[in-house]
Amino acid sequence: MAVIPTTQKGTELLARLMRAEAEGEGNLGMLMVGNVGVNRVKSNCLDFKQIRSIDDMVFQNPGGFEATQKGYFYQRARDNEIRLAERVLRGERFHPATNALWFFMPAAECPPQWFDQWNSGRFKSHCFYIPTESDCPLVY
């Protein structure tokens, strides 16, 4: 059972996003991007109050993902990415993305805060940022 509403098309869309944003980070990096996507659909807080589906989350503008806004979201989902997307949709969570709503790739160290959100850790080149539990209880 999925932790957010989805269809096969939605699962494939999430898998495409995971590939576009973190293919170079390996399976674990793609799983963490998937966690952020699922959290954005679940959260109903901050920048994500109108996000109700994977489609809404993937194509959110402004505030969405660089892959969809800068044109490298064109590759289809492969079987591996679909299996990874299915794992996060079933509720698997991976630190430091467990409760994260944001990530980015800085040129240097991860800043302790990014747009008033706290750094929860780094995986390879991506830094992950979490809201407070009182701001976004549905991601905890």
The domain limits of the chain are: 8-139
Tokens 């064109």 belong to 74
C-alpha neighbours within 13 Å on the C-beta side of residue 57: 30
What's the pLDDT at 69?
81
What's the pLDDT at 34?
98
Tokens 């160290």 belong to 109
Contact (CB, 8 A) for 140 and 133: yes
pLDDT averages per 10-residue partition of the chain, 140 residues: 93 97 96 98 95 96 85 88 98 98 96 95 98 96
Per the rule left: phi > 0, alpha: psi between -120 and 50, beta: everything else, 76 is: beta
What's the pLDDT at 132?
95
Q: Does domain 8-139 have CATH number 3.30.360.10?
A: no
What's the pLDDT at 93?
98
Long-range pairs for 37-44: beta carbons < 8 A, 24 or more residues apart: 37/88, 38/3, 38/4, 38/14, 38/88, 38/89, 39/97, 39/99, 39/100, 39/101, 39/139, 40/101, 41/4, 42/3, 42/4, 42/138, 42/139, 43/101, 43/131, 43/136, 43/138, 43/139, 44/138
What's the pLDDT at 48?
96
Contact (CB, 8 A) for 39 and 23: no
What's the pLDDT at 62?
84
Backbone angles phi, psi at 60, to 5 degrees: -55, 135
From the CB of residue 118, how many other CB atoms can be counted at a distance below 10 Å? 13
